[in-house]
Amino acid sequence: MKTETGRLATAVKKLPPGAFAFVMATGIVAAAFSLIGLSTVTLVLLIIAVAGLVALLCALGWRIVRHWDSVYADARNPAIAFGYATIVAALNVVGALFFSIEPIVTIVLLCLSVPFWLVLTYGIAAAMMLGPQDGPPAHKANGSWFIWVVATQSISVVTGIIDHGLNVNLLGVIAVGMWSIGVMLYIILTVIITLRLMTTTQDAFGVRPTYWVYMGATAITVYAGWSILSLLTEMPIMQATHDFISGFTFMLWAFGVWWIPILVIFGLWRHAVKRYPVRYESELWSMVFPLGMFSVASIHLGKLLGLPVVHDMGVICTWIAGAAWLAVTVMMVRSASQKQVPGETTTEKIAHTL
């Protein structure tokens, strides 16, 4: 019993900033299966996502109280700090799932996510730009930075869903504003991260699963665009932006599809060419989430624009995302059964080497 308590305390102390990616991935895969009519699978995954969210929020609270120095150090480290954006996205992914069940839960989770987003955007980002660093922060840019975009667009998605369901027009304006901010962040971060990939030599450890969020960020931007385009077109903000959002949303979907083969090549190069071992690391959830997000975005966009091929790609990818979720879950359970703290060694190594 004492040993188990010690392991739990260690796990909380070493909790990776991106730990909430598990909730994001589970929730979005649940949403994807709901769109193809598998309600039982959806319910099971929703229960797992809620349980994971509650457990991780408790662990985060414990870590903040007992290990503030570690929390602060992670928030100041450009290599891993944007992992904290998974908190915002996880709250809103679960919140979106609850809207058809109990809208008040969606609203509460949205309100809870906003302070985290504000701290991320104006606290962590500003500290990186203005605080003392061991070199320029951009030298540590990696795929996890795109989770900032995902967090921003998750707020756009949920505000759009609430507006569509409850007809609160102010939220529609906020949804468009957050979508616009997310688009600009994606463009800025794509330039920074791609330049780093093009101007530095990569090794197998550095080419991490978080680079899949390159595609995941486009997918959630497409999903946010769909939620905005579903709003009442009589709104002045919709009349002013409808055509732009519609065209840009499809363009981002196509750009996300373009990224998929490159990301597969990254994985093959890492594991087949460089022989990096395939083992559980918490960042694998950052690969599952984009697959589920692409599925949801494609199904919705295909229906909205009347493009069956886009819809069907989403349906196919739902099964791929489900298989990926199951595979990573098995790896996580096996890792836990071997009395290892999932992701702790990887996260520490990223913090010190990237």
* Averages of pLDDT over each 10 residues, the chain, 354 residues: 65 86 96 93 95 94 90 87 93 93 93 93 84 78 91 93 78 87 93 88 83 91 87 68 82 92 91 88 91 94 88 95 95 78 52 56
**Topology given in CATH for the domain delimited by 2-353:** Glycosyltransferase (1.50.10)
In this structure, the number of other CB atoms found within 10 A of the CB of residue 102 comes to 10
Q: What is the pLDDT of residues 201-215, one digit of tens each?
A: 888 887 888 888 989
The answer for 344, left when phi > 0, alpha when psi is -120 to 50, beta otherwise, is alpha
| Structure confidence at residue 275 (pLDDT) | 87
Q: Which residues contact 30 (CB under 8 A, 6 or more apart)?
A: 41, 42, 45, 46, 49, 97
Quick one: tokens of 119?
């701290």
Residue among 121, 115, 123, 270 nearest 204 (CA): 270
| pLDDT, position 210 | 87
Q: Which pLDDT does position 342 carry in this prediction?
A: 45
Q: What is the pLDDT of residues 6-46, one digit of tens each?
A: 677 777 888 888 899 999 999 999 999 999 999 999 999 99
Neighbours of 119 (CB within 10 A): 15
CA angle centred on 187, ends 184 and 191, rounded to 5°: 145
Residue 337: exposed, middle, or buried by beta-carbon count in 10 A (0-12, 13-18, 19+)? exposed
